[in-house]
Chain A
Amino acid sequence: MGVVNLDSEYDFLQELTYFRCGAAVPFAGRYRLIDFTLSNMCNAGIRDIAVFTRNKYRSLMDHLGTGAEWDLDRKRGGLFILPPDWNDPTDVSKGDLQHFHNNRDFFSRGSSQYVCVSGSQFVSNIPLHEAFRHHLQTEADITLITKTFPTLEEEHRNCLKTEHDEYGWVTALTNDKTNPAVFSGMYIIGKRLFLDLVEECISRGKENLFHDGIKNNLDKLHIQTYQHEGYAAVVNSLESYYKHNMRLLDPEKYRELFFSDHVVYTKIKDEPPVKYNSHIEVKNSLIANGCVIKGEVENSIIFRGVKIDHGAKVKNSIVMQRCHIEEGAVLEDVIIDKDVTVSKNRMIIGAKEQPYAIAKRSTI
């Protein structure tokens, strides 16, 4: 069974997380960040998935619906979106342990003996079933999924790094700024051990299952690592969000994320194919269905249902769902949230290092 724990994720994306949680932020032209984690779980055959959410979950619930797009609208099990509504007077749990404690039924009802816990900020197409096989073969208590990045970047600063011996057993979890082995926030654990750790943490008044239950028990637990070799990106700030969207314009990365053995699923919109008019320019861009392009687009990510009128120019930008860029408008290095209208001949230019973000549903 799977848990997408959004409890400890901060709404890091400024304007983009005014109205939604980080997991529901649109990414790569038609997805939301949570789609990657959910699809990884589904593709590995996980059929019971809980989403622990704390706040601003309207948009997330709208997106996930019954879970049909991930094939999670099942008679038994399937998708459970679990916002906080707890009234147990005997409850003494704190932090994300509140979620684990108050949703014990989810864990006890599922028939699976293993739990895969993940956040939503690690964008990848991981063969989780292989990680699970590794977990079983090594008879580990816990398997952490890690990725060794060729170079460490700003967004990895706050990620935990793993140190392990030659057999892959974890010896330390640190914030070492020189260690490129980044922990993805995703781990596999036996259900019994998992529930024991939850109880132990609560009885000691702790607030974070991973930090207090796992990281601080390193000496008692046998923890393995599973190295993910393919595409991965950590999205935990506006800068990393912009950067990793833009990097998908490299066809190699695009193929690695989307055309590996497994499909990334998302909510279906029934938009028609993109319509390009006869006098347009488009270069090096990702464009999702439902768009009508009459102007110029370069180095940009265009989400579903965007209209770009005659003479409008969009460059190095991210334009989200159903935006309308009117005649002669110019956009450069900006992120525009959903349903924004950019009026005729407006010019908005941000900076590459610090893209300018425009909040949802505004007219400028």
Chain B
Amino acid sequence: MKKECVGMLLAGGEGTRLGLLTKNMAKPGVYFGGKYRIIDFTLSNCANSGIDTVGVLTQYAPFALNRHLGIGQPWDMDRSDGGTSILPPHRVKNGGNWYSGTADAIYQNLHYLDQYNPEFVLVISGDHVYKMNYSAMLDFHKETGADASISVIEVPWEETSRFGIMNTNEHYTITDFEEKPMHAKNNLASMGIYIFNWPVLRQYLTDDAASADSSHDFGKDIIPKMLGDHRKLSAFPFRGYWKDVGTVQSYWEANMDLLEDESQLRLDDPDWRIYTVNPNQPPHYIGKEATVRGSMINEGCQVFGSVQRSILFYGVETKSDSFVKDSVIMPNVQVGKQVTVERAVVKENTVIPDGCVIKPADEEQVVVIDKDTIFEQFSYANQL
């Protein structure tokens, strides 16, 4: 069945800079915001933008992610025509390979796209946190008549050296692309969101696959090649909250951003729901002696201690006289009595024994612990 626009969601990244957080989990599958996984933001964007056909490209540690995606039902993508399809690397007649780059991942799934024969392909990745209407970008793409459109966001000038910068003319036509420039001429950073005319992209992917010296990456190979060929590329300016949660620090910051009294990233917009798998837990209980300030708490939690500027995922229990501050506590964690947790990310199912004091040695840092952590080092006696 022909589709106007099909989404290709890159979800195979390892996210090495997230350390312990991605030990057994692809980066898009990492928990975020008290209820979600990072990939929920892009998938919900698709659902809310009317894109009902999405291929999810997985590679690194996809176990929890596969289970999370299921048949796409939470995102209303359990469709008879389209819906989500999980696309892992696979064998074909003449071999088959691991995905060696973002472009290669899509090249190896040409057959998937061909069955829908779309006019446009939306390429997104499952490791950014933002709310964006892709259908507005698609309208923009059609209006400008470009071969490809790239969504861009203004970043502070002093941070331009961390991003891929798009230089444009006054009509947002891209003239030049610089990866992490030392002296940027512009502050429009690529958000890694692309819309291509499918026949054009198909040709470029095929050529790129045949090229021996290519790294098969959209940012490094496909886009520069298209610019070199004087294809028309437009920059779609995005305004709003967007965060690449690539490091433990930025992951933690993005979570803390949600706790501002007037957060820039609203999760409770009834017209732009963020969908996820629902664990069906009861309302959370806040105890008689508990204190809660500036926090987000999910269902199924039982809070008997103090929780300040922290995020509690479902099924977390904090026992009496515990103190949780500036932290992210993932599902089903038990925080024992008289425990202190500060500036920490506690992974799911961790049981923190009574009396532990968990904080980073350096106040600027964030500590990550999981159920394999040895807690003796954090016991109160060792802190004296």
Please state if B282 and A30 are interface contacts (CB–CB under 8 Å): yes
8 A Cβ contacts from B282-318 to A: 282-288, 290, 292-300, 302, 309, 311-312
Please state if B283 and A301 are interface contacts (CB–CB under 8 Å): yes
Complex: how many Å from CA A273 to CA B268? Answer: 9
Does residue A38 face the partner (Cβ distance < 8 Å to B)? no
Please state if A287 and B286 are interface contacts (CB–CB under 8 Å): yes
Most chain B CB within 10 A, of A30, A302, A305, is at: A30
Does residue B278 face the partner (Cβ distance < 8 Å to A)? yes
Inter-chain contacts of A280 with B (CB < 8 A)? 292-293
Inter-chain contacts of B278 with A (CB < 8 A)? 268, 270
Does residue A312 face the partner (Cβ distance < 8 Å to B)? no
Partner of A276, one of B263, B268, B275, B294: B294
Complex: how many Å from CA A254 to CA B261? Answer: 30
Please state if A283 and B286 are interface contacts (CB–CB under 8 Å): yes
| Chain B: number of interface residues, binned into ranges | 35 or more
Complex: how many Å from CA A106 to CA B224? Answer: 65
Most chain B CB within 10 A, of A249, A273, A283, is at: A273
8 A Cβ contacts from B244-300 to A: 261, 263, 267-268, 273-276, 278, 280-288, 290, 292-300
Does residue B37 face the partner (Cβ distance < 8 Å to A)? no
8 A Cβ contacts from A277-320 to B: 277-280, 282-290, 292, 294, 301-303, 305
Which chain A residue shows the least CB distance to B262?
A277
Shortest A272–chain B CB gap in Å is 4
Please state if A286 and B284 are interface contacts (CB–CB under 8 Å): yes
Q: Mark B4-21, 1 if CB is under 8 A from A, else 0.
A: 000000000000000000
Inter-chain contacts of A282 with B (CB < 8 A)? 286, 290, 292
Please state if A278 and B261 are interface contacts (CB–CB under 8 Å): yes
Complex: how many Å from CA A268 to CA B276? Answer: 11
Does residue B35 face the partner (Cβ distance < 8 Å to A)? yes
Does residue A251 face the partner (Cβ distance < 8 Å to B)? yes
Does residue B34 face the partner (Cβ distance < 8 Å to A)? yes
Which chain B residue shows the least CB distance to A268?
B278
Which chain A residue shows the least CB distance to B311?
A273
- Tell whether A263 pairs with B284 under 8 Å between CB atoms, given A272-B34, A280-B292, A280-B293: no
Which chain A residue shows the least CB distance to B35?
A273
Inter-chain contacts of B282 with A (CB < 8 A)? 28-30, 254, 257-259, 264, 286
- Tell whether A284 pairs with B293 under 8 Å between CB atoms, given A264-B282, A272-B34, A272-B268: no
Most chain A CB within 10 A, of B74, B267, B295, B309, is at: B295
Inter-chain contacts of B283 with A (CB < 8 A)? 28-30, 286-289, 301-303
Inter-chain contacts of B312 with A (CB < 8 A)? 273
Complex: how many Å from CA A29 to CA B26? Answer: 34
Complex: how many Å from CA A270 to CA B280? Answer: 11
Inter-chain contacts of B34 with A (CB < 8 A)? 272-273
Partner of A284, one of B274, B276, B288, B309: B288
Please state if B288 and A289 are interface contacts (CB–CB under 8 Å): no
Inter-chain contacts of B293 with A (CB < 8 A)? 276, 278-280
Does residue A271 face the partner (Cβ distance < 8 Å to B)? yes
Partner of B295, one of A263, A270, A276: A276
Which chain B residue shows the least CB distance to A29?
B283
Shortest B76–chain A CB gap in Å is 10
Which chain A residue shows the least CB distance to B279?
A263
Does residue A266 face the partner (Cβ distance < 8 Å to B)? yes
Does residue A274 face the partner (Cβ distance < 8 Å to B)? yes
- Tell whether A270 pairs with B268 under 8 Å between CB atoms, given A264-B282, A283-B288: no
Which chain A residue shows the least CB distance to B278?
A268
Ordered by A's residue number, 11 sampled pairs between the chains whose C-beta atoms are within 8 Å are: A28-B282, A266-B280, A268-B280, A276-B294, A282-B286, A282-B290, A282-B292, A283-B286, A285-B285, A287-B284, A287-B297
- A residues with a Cβ closer than 8 A to B are 28-30, 69, 249, 251, 254, 257-259, 263-266, 268, 270-280, 282-290, 292, 294, 301-303, 305
